[in-house]
Amino acid sequence: MRNLCFILCALGLAANAAAQMLINGAGATFPYPIYSKWFDEYAKIDPSVRFNYQSIGSGGGQKQILARTVDFGASDGPMSDENLAKATGKLLHIPTVAGADVLTYNLPDHPKLKLDGPTIVDIFLGKITRWNDPKIQAQNHGVQLPSSDIIVVHRSDGSGTTYIWVDYLSSVSKEWEARVGRGTSVRWPVGLGGKGNEGVAGQVKQLPGTVGYVELAYAKQNKLPYADVKNASGNYVAPGIESITEALATAKIPDDFRFSMVNPPGERAYPISGATWLLVYEEQKDAAKGKKLVEFLNWAATQGEAMAAALDYAPLPENVQKRVLERIKSIRY
């Protein structure tokens, strides 16, 4: 009898689920924790809609929204002109949250390092090869730097984290821009490749003299040491939620929201950060779905943003949030 009841209940639930509207999305892995939190929370506010998000990577997200196999895409980098031209309608970039890359290292006694952009570029170009190089020492008075070799560790998998990193290096160095350039994967002049944040962090933790970059959230959660970086207005700034939001607030953001926020002019801005975007068609083909999607986007850009800091993402500053809400209004269904 109890079994029967259980089966009936299960069937009832299944029927209920079928009545729900399902909105599909796919793309970036970096914002996956905050997005799944949003979808969970939003299910409590509007139980009639369920979000299904596949974190398959930004490349896949762009491809799927272009093919319209999903209702929204997500990407850690803005789409290229070439890819955007393939869209069968106007695709909007909706920035959601931002994150930062930090420079982590393995040195005896874990000193706190301060570095500027050109020094980081020279390390990653293989021009500065020893830790006690005068350029590093000059910025770190009183820190006992070893004479050992610097071993660079970078991401081997294509990732938004890498994009932000090389975007920053390109913005501070013409040489980097010409020799390596920007991309989710690049041809690294020197170094070892680690797969994922954990791969890079694993190498750095074990191998003395290594230096690498990981996401701020990952570095914080795993208590890795990371450097303060000199920003465009000449201050050494520690990466953190406030300094990233400040970077967003002072970055130059064009009307289509396809922006890079590295090296912004803000005084307290951390220079190596990047936003992540949802990709949505301006013209929604399914009116009912479009309406629900817009409702969700509005919620995410307001209440949703408040949950970001707890998960180590930087929320949008007020000036950007206002523009984003304005843009969401332009979605038609």
SS3 annotation, 115-142: ECHHHHHHHHHCCCCECCCHHHHHHCCC
H helices within the chain, ranges in order? 2-19, 32-45, 58-66, 81-84, 117-125, 134-139, 160-172, 174-179, 196-206, 216-221, 241-250, 287-302, 318-329
Between residues 245 and 260, which has the closer beta carbon with respect to another protein? 260
Q: Does 184 bind another protein (CB under 8 A)?
A: yes
- Is residue 57 within the footprint of another protein (CB under 8 A)? yes
- Contact between 82 and another protein by CB under 8 A: the answer reads yes
CB of 310 to another protein, least distance (A): 27
DSSP 253: -
For another protein, the binding residue among 19, 81, 206, 223 (CB under 8 A) is 206
Contact call for residue 192 and another protein (CB under 8 A): yes
* Stretch binding another protein (CB under 8 A), from 52-60, 129-137, 228-236, 306-314: 52-60
User: Per CB under 8 A, which of residues 99..158 are in contact with another protein?
Assistant: 149, 151, 156-158
C-beta closer to another protein: residue 201 or 324:
201
Q: Exactly one of 36, 83, 129, 298 binds another protein (CB under 8 A); which one?
A: 83
283 binds another protein (CB under 8 A): no
Residue 96 binds another protein (CB under 8 A): no
The sheet carrying 91-105 orders its strands as: 49-54, 21-27, 72-75, 273-281, 91-105, 210-215, 151-155, 192-194
- Is-contact 126 152, C-beta < 8 A? yes
| 290 touching another protein, by CB under 8 A | no
* Minimum gap (Å) between residue 184 Cβ and another protein: 4
Q: Which of 45, 84, 76, 94 is nearest to 326 (CA)?
A: 94
The distance of closest approach from Cβ of residue 13 to another protein in the complex, given in angstroms and rounded to an integer, is 32
**Least distance between another protein and beta carbon 86 (Å):** 9
Q: Is residue 207 involved in binding another protein (CB under 8 A)?
A: yes
Neighbours of 138 (CB within 10 A): 10
Position 324 contacts another protein (CB under 8 A): no
With 0-12 CB in 10 A as exposed, 13-18 as middle and 19+ as buried, what is 37?
Answer: middle
Q: Distance (Å, rounded) from C-alpha 64 to C-alpha 72? A: 9
Gap between the Cα atoms of 315 and 71, Å rounded: 24
62 sits near another protein (criterion: CB under 8 A): yes
Residue ranges that bind another protein, judged by CB under 8 A? 29, 56-60, 62-63, 79-80, 82-83, 149, 151, 156-160, 180-188, 191-195, 199, 202-203, 206-207
